[in-house]
Chain A
């Protein structure tokens, strides 16, 4: 195992924030009246960070991710992505988004699914082929180019959807509970692969999850959120080393971080509801 005292090496505070939110509030109008999904959220995400958002259902973690992606509009406060509005960042293709479900197109082969954003963004044939090969290799799906999604397992489908999000090489990767529907063993495996991918590509990753071990294992920064109204209760900077074998989850450092996340979740959660 590597040296646990090694400081997280990826945070470079000199560069401008990739995501910067201040006083961010978002209210949905529903038939039962307004529901506050985010209230007064302040958060900075630096380049190269791996940030996990954790909290119970309804705490606004997905909403926050969708706001970064310009899929939701804030009601108050401000948010910038790469120093621009989320809309302009989206139009610049600043991020890749991985949804909870793989959402692959069943009528397209894996190769063609990965090509989808490239086709839309107008890459040349040759460039498409090159990027398909590279990203499929990155997610360990080489050899499955001509399979259809239904021929792949759930874990492989989700890997294909990650390849699709990576194919156009955006610096920011937004992942909304991508492994939530997968079983523990597959999830462990994909977590390890994701960490490897992150260190190879040096991307900034925002990762929404329900799972404490997953959040602690993956992140350089853990954002603990609490429901109704969605707010940030704790931001934990991880002091785990960059090199993380799966059995790091048995170490005291890991368990201490996990305990702090759990405390944060408990503090933010009201059981009277």
Chain B
């Protein structure tokens, strides 16, 4: 345990050291102008360093500032108020999970079509690849604006579910691709000999799918779901940027940059990466449960 912990701690310490070292020169010009305006001269170096680490609106906030902000906006406040990062994280998380669910189902569905139908393989695959070459930043506002107007207008949806659905769509758009690619490979993973075996039993295509292809593809599914869930979160956050949304980690990032609240931006970034890590871990836990049920060899 301590053997594996030591390198982790060393890397962490190095990152923190670089972080604090970088904060000094990055925040120095502003600090010097503060001193100039206050007519302070001959500030001792130790005080100068501490001051650059504790500005109100630093260019590069330091770790303790970010974590103080994280604490103040999570544990210190009720999760129901808009000041709470937990509130914003939940707004983002719920849309992410909805989008990830849709993306995974869509990804699996496309992979099944591609594996079972040669024409689909030829006609769908280029479009699927092309779909991912469009920068999501260009596409997100389109989906958000068109989707939002469509849902609230023609479909008569209230604004909140419409906004939720638009974000989930972007999230699904980003997450289906790794799932499709992984599942196409996974569903094609059975060896010739195993497919021949099913043929000798005169098994139907459905039986071959559920008894052979699907179980063979599961390891690939979980690997691609881990990639997909992270992409899904990015999709939701990007979807929150142009909506004029007032809630969600994306909205929090945008508001922070409008008002020069760098500490707020950084704490939202940290919240997003913690969320991403939790999502990947959650997929990993499900994977382990499934592996256990499938009787896989203990790693």
Query: Looking at the complex, which of A73-81, A117-125, A241-249 is the stretch in contact with chain B?
Result: A117-125
Across-interface contacts of B294 in A (CB, < 8 A): 107
Residue in chain A with minimal CB distance to B297: A150
Interface pair B203/A107, CB less than 8 Å apart: no
Query: Looking at the complex, which of B28-36, B49-57, B190-198, B234-242 is the stretch in contact with chain A?
Result: B190-198
Interface pair B200/A71, CB less than 8 Å apart: yes
Interface pair B199/A109, CB less than 8 Å apart: no
What is the total number of residues of chain B having a CB less than 8 Å from a CB of chain A? Answer: 19
B window 177-209: CB within 8 A of A: 191, 193-194, 196-203, 207
Residue in chain B with minimal CB distance to A87: B202
Partner of A103 from B191, B201, B295 at Cβ < 8 Å:
B191
Q: What class of interface size applies to chain A in its complex with B?
A: 20 to 34
Known: A105-B215, A107-B215, A116-B211. A93 touches B201 (CB 8 A): yes
A69 within 8 A of B: yes
B296 within 8 A of A: yes
Rounded to whole Å, the gap between the CB of A158 and the closest CB of chain B is 13
Interface pair A71/B211, CB less than 8 Å apart: no
Residue in chain A with minimal CB distance to B208: A120
Interface pair A120/B203, CB less than 8 Å apart: yes
A228 within 8 A of B: no
Q: Bound complex: CA of A108 vs CA of B216, how far in Å?
A: 11
Known: A101-B193, A120-B207. A107 touches B201 (CB 8 A): no
Chain B residues close to A by CB (< 8 Å): 191, 193-194, 196-203, 207, 211-212, 215, 294-297
Q: What are the nearest 7 A-B pairs in CB distance?
A: A107-B294, A148-B295, A97-B200, A120-B203, A120-B201, A103-B193, A117-B201
Chain A residues close to B by CB (< 8 Å): 69-71, 90-91, 93, 95-97, 99-101, 103, 105-109, 116-117, 119-121, 148, 150
29 of the cross-chain contacts (CB-CB < 8 Å) are: A71-B196, A71-B199, A90-B200, A90-B202, A91-B202, A93-B201, A93-B202, A95-B200, A96-B200, A97-B196, A97-B197, A99-B193, A101-B193, A103-B197, A105-B194, A106-B295, A106-B296, A107-B215, A107-B295, A107-B296, A108-B295, A109-B295, A116-B201, A116-B211, A120-B198, A120-B203, A120-B207, A148-B295, A150-B297
